[in-house]
């Protein structure tokens, strides 16, 4: 036997498992059965391409409980593992979720063991219930088999072994029963039945049970449960009792009429395919009839997975079946990226069993199914928005930023995505508004959807840009997710025939046409009067702004920065620059409040002495505070502080 050390992370994880206070230790069986089921899926799939890899007998999972030896064995005739596979898969942690799990337990300290159920740490969960784990595996297509054995301490042993056929056998040397620690009698028929039914009923392969009962003195028979009284007598050999009917129902739940299935069974199915311990938030069950037929059973998880924004997400998309035969996991072609959090199963009637990922991209049927699924999911979410606002808001908090990624794609039906959008607004600090609600309560004469995008909600809420809108009673929507700056910056188009307008861009003149015309005239007139002052201010800060003009949007503040219609917002510009894009420098416009005393005093000062250095200083002060009010950063903060201090010294 050759010994190998576990990779450092694996050791850490094993330690956690062994000392776990986690009460739900029975989930180890779910993890092992899921692994077996995956291995069977892989074997079936590979055999489609290479018939030599097909199993001789029925693909199945076998449990063997040996009461006297106190072992539980889980065997499958799936794809199996070679020696190298064993080292790679059972000696190191491959899955990113597990590393994340470890990170969180490090942060979380004592309470952490509950996370085990949340992350589903797979094979290593065996060490919660076993002192020693022995794996014998043979890869399909190979002759050699290997034994892997470990007590869960720092190392594992490997040696050559033999196995009649390809597959994997995992034997657990069970710890003593300890109901307080959640270690039930995992050799007991009824315990096993119940755990399998609870977590693995939908596994598509039969899970069969064989019980090896110790021979017992006749007197004890009457009280010991699960033993076969007629078969065992004093001094006899242990009995083998195979239970014929599989422990699981194996029903393809999506083929059954929705009304005939318990909600709890749907939830259990969801947990089986996703390994998410929480119930899903939403279920969408649909069938497509007509030219091609397909059924789908989809779920929206209650919580966003930790890797929702990772490029190389492991768990993505839905499973594809063809006529009840599993084809592939994580079929991304069936849903757009902005619905990548949706999980579930799609079962198509007319696809070839040999369909490959490359073929899927062009397949017309897949495109048609995808279109149908998008519509169904969106409709279901819209219904949730109508029926249960609180639940919808939870959904939106979890997945809203992902949904809005759909707005970046001009090929998508934006109106449909906009129907799902919620946003904070200037009307109420505590509520989110849907766009439909916003449009509905727009006052007569308001002809655009006004919004402000930026990284921080409280900065937006206090933005000087809102002043005139507030006064007019016009609601402004706030968008604070990074993705918002991008879709808004691209030109968001229209919603319900209303154009989108950023309150930080272009000229802001509110009211009906007459009012606007009047205001414009007034502003132009005052601008003409003050043109020399505005010129002087501009030349003091000409590196920073492209224009200094009077504002129609300010009521209380003295100044603000605005951008030309169509310009990127400052936060988006910064983001794109950081991403390495060459963004041409675009300067903002400094707008001044014509009704503010500062402007009056400046104007008087300018009349008295156009060369007064305080004019240029004021320009820099006005510009600086406008930058800060936007949540922006000053190029020369200490220079700005000096100016402010100088001013304080004068006035105090």
- Judged by CB under 6 A, which of 67, 70, 89, 372 binds ligand ADP? 89
Q: How far is the CB of 66 from ligand ADP (least distance, A)?
A: 19
Element spanning 219, H or E: helix 218-221
Q: Does 81 bind ligand ADP (CB under 6 A)?
A: yes
> Would you say 87 or 647 has its CB closer to ligand ADP?
87
83 lies in the binding site for ligand ADP (CB under 6 A): no
For the window 167-196, what string marks contact with ligand ADP as x by the rule CB under 6 A? -x----------------------------
Structure tokens at 89: 């898969």
* Contact with ligand ADP (CB under 6 A) among 91, 122, 406, 624: 122
Binding-site size, ligand ADP (CB under 6 A): 14
Q: From the list 6, 22, 28, 123, which residue makes contact with ligand ADP (rule: CB under 6 A)?
A: 123
36 binds ligand ADP (CB under 6 A): yes
Question: Contact, 510 vs 474, CB < 8 A?
Answer: yes
Pick one of 13, 17, 27, 39: the residue that binds ligand ADP (CB under 6 A). 39
33, 78, 209, 298: which one binds ligand ADP (CB under 6 A):
78
Does 305 bind ligand ADP (CB under 6 A)? Our answer is no
Q: Rounded CA gap, 469 and 586, in Å?
A: 26
CB of 320 to ligand ADP, least distance (A): 19
- The minimum distance between CB 6 and ligand ADP, in angstroms, equals 12
Of 438, 425, 459, 463, the closest CA to residue 551 belongs to 463
> For the packed helices 96-108 and 8-18, what is the interaxial angle rounded to 10 degrees?
60
Helix (H) / strand (E) element for 210: namely strand 207-213
Q: How many CB atoms lie within 10 A of CB 604?
A: 9
Specify the residue, 122 or 594, whose C-beta has the smaller distance to ligand ADP. 122
How near is the Cβ of 23 to ligand ADP at its closest, in Å?
21
Please give the residues from 207 up to 266 whose contact with ligand ADP meets the rule CB under 6 A. Answer: none
When asked if residue 35 is in the footprint of ligand ADP (CB under 6 A), the reply is: yes
Q: How far apart are the C-alpha atoms of 178 and 176, rounded to whole Å?
A: 6
Judged by DSSP in three states, 140 sits in coil
218, burial (CB in 10 Å: exposed 0-12, middle 13-18, buried 19+): exposed
Compare residues 39 and 327 and give the one whose CB is closer to ligand ADP: 39
Find the shortest distance in angstroms from Cβ 638 to ligand ADP: 53
Cβ 208 to ligand ADP shortest distance, Å: 16
Among 16, 27, 79, 102, binds ligand ADP (CB under 6 A): 79
Long-range contacts formed by 161-166: CB under 8 A, 24+ apart = 161/136, 163/136, 163/137, 163/138, 165/55, 165/56, 165/77, 165/138, 166/43, 166/55, 166/77, 166/78, 166/79, 166/80, 166/138, 166/139, 166/140, 166/141, 166/142
Spell out, one character per residue from 498 to 527, where the chain touches ligand ADP: x when CB under 6 A holds, - when not: ------------------------------
**Residue from 453, 455, 493 nearest 477 by CA:** 453
Site for ligand ADP in 153-172 (CB under 6 A): 168
Tokens of 217: 């003195």
Question: Min. distance of Cβ 470 from ligand ADP in angstroms?
Answer: 53
Minimum Å distance from CB 167 to ligand ADP? 7
**For the chain, percent helix, then strand, then coil, each to nearest 5?**
45, 20, 35
Q: Are 452 and 502 in contact (CB under 8 A)?
A: yes
What are the helix (H) ranges across 363-505?
364-387, 389-405, 414-418, 435-440, 457-461, 467-472, 482-489
Q: Which residue is nearest to ligand ADP (CB)?
A: 122
- SS3 for 348-402, per residue? ECCCCCCCCHHHHHHCHHHHHHHHHHHHHHHHHHHHHHHHCHHHHHHHHHHHHHH
At residue 392, what are phi and psi to the nearest 5 degrees? -65, -40
Task: Return the number of the residue (113 or 122) whose C-beta is nearest ligand ADP.
Answer: 122
If one asks whether residue 12 binds ligand ADP (CB under 6 A), the answer comes out as no
* Minimum CB–partner distance for residue 122 and ligand ADP (Å): 2
Q: In this complex, which beta carbon is closest to ligand ADP, that of residue 120 or of residue 400?
A: 120
| 43, 35 Cβ separation under 8 angstroms | no
The 8-class DSSP code of residue 165 comes to S
Query: How far is 270 from 265, CA to CA, in rounded Å?
Result: 9
Pick the closer one to ligand ADP by CB: 120 or 464. Answer: 120
CB 189, min distance to ligand ADP, A: 23
Cβ-based nearer residue to ligand ADP, 79 or 590:
79
Q: Which residues bind ligand ADP (CB under 6 A)?
A: 31, 35-36, 39, 76, 78-81, 89, 95, 122-123, 168
């Amino acid at each position: 036997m050759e010994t190998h050390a576990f990779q450092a992370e694996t050791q850490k994880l094993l330690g956690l498992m062994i000392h776990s206070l986690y009460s739900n230790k029975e989930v180890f069986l779910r993890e092992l059965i899921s692994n077996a089921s995956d291995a069977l899926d892989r074997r079936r799939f590979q055999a489609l391409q290479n018939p030599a890899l097909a199993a001789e007998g029925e693909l199945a999972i076998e449990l063997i409980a040996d009461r006297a030896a106190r072992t539980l064995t889980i065997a499958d005739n799936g794809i199996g593992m070679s020696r190298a596979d064993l080292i790679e898969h059972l000696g190191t942690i491959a899955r990113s979720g597990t590393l994340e799990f470890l990170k969180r337990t490090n942060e979380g300290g004592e309470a952490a063991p509950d996370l085990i159920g949340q992350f589903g740490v797979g094979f290593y969960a065996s060490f919660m219930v076993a002192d020693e784990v022995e794996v014998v595996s043979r890869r399909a297509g190979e002759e050699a088999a290997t034994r892997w054995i470990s007590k869960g301490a720092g190392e594992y042993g490997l040696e050559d072994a033999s196995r009649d056929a390809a597959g994997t056998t995992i034997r657990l040397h069970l710890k003593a029963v300890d109901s307080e620690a959640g270690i039930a009698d995992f050799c007991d028929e009824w315990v096993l039945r119940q755990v399998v039914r609870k977590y693995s009923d939908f596994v598509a392969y039969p899970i069969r049970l064989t019980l090896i009962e110790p021979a017992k003195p006749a007197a004890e028979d009457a009280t010991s449960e699960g033993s076969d009284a007629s078969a065992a007598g004093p001094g006899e050999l242990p009995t083998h009792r195979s239970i014929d009917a599989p422990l699981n129902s194996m029903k393809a739940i999506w083929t059954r009429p929705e009304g005939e299935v318990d909600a709890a069974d749907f939830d259990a199915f969801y947990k089986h395919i996703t390994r998410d311990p929480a119930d899903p938030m939403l279920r969408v069950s649909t069938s497509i009839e007509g030219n091609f037929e397909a059924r789908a059973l989809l779920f929206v998880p209650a919580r966003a997975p930790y890797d929702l924004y990772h490029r190389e997400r492991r768990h993505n998309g839905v499973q594809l079946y063809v006529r009840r035969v599993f084809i592939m996991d994580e079929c991304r072609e069936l849903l757009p990226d902005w619905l990548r959090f949706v999980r579930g199963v799609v079962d198509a009637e007319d696809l070839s069993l040999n369909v490959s990922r490359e073929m899927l991209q062009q397949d017309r049927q897949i495109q048609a199914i995808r279109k149908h699924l998008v519509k169904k999911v969106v409709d279901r979410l819209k219904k949730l928005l109508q029926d249960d606002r609180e639940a919808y808001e939870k959904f939106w908090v979890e997945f809203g930023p992902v949904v809005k990624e759909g707005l970046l794609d001009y090929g998508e039906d934006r109106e449909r995505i906009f129907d799902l959008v919620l946003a904070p607004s200037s009307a109420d600090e505590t509520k989110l508004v849907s766009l439909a609600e916003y449009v509905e309560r727009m006052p007569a004469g308001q002809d655009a959807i006004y919004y402000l995008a930026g990284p921080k909600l409280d900065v937006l809420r206090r933005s000087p840009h809102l002043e005139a809108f507030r006064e007019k009673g016009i609601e402004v929507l706030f968008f604070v997710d990074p993705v918002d700056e991008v879709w808004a910056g691209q030109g968001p188009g229209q919603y319900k025939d209303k154009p989108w307008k950023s309150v930080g861009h272009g000229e802001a003149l509110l009211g009906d046409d007459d009012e606007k015309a009047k205001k414009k005239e007034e502003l132009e007139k005052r601008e003409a009067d003050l043109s020399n002052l505005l010129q002087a201010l501009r030349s003091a800060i000409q590196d920073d702004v492209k224009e200094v003009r009077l504002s129609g949007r300010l009521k209380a503040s003295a100044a603000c920065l605005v951008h030309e219609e169509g310009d990127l917002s400052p936060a988006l510009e910064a983001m794109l620059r950081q991403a390495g894009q060459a963004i041409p420098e675009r300067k903002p416009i400094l707008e001044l409040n014509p009704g503010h005393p500062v402007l009056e005093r400046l104007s008087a000062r300018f009349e008295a002495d156009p060369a007064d250095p305080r004019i240029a200083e004021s320009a820099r002060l006005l510009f600086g505070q406008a930058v800060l009010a936007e949540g922006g950063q000053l190029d020369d903060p200490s220079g700005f502080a000096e100016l402010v201090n100088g001013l304080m010294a004068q006035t105090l």
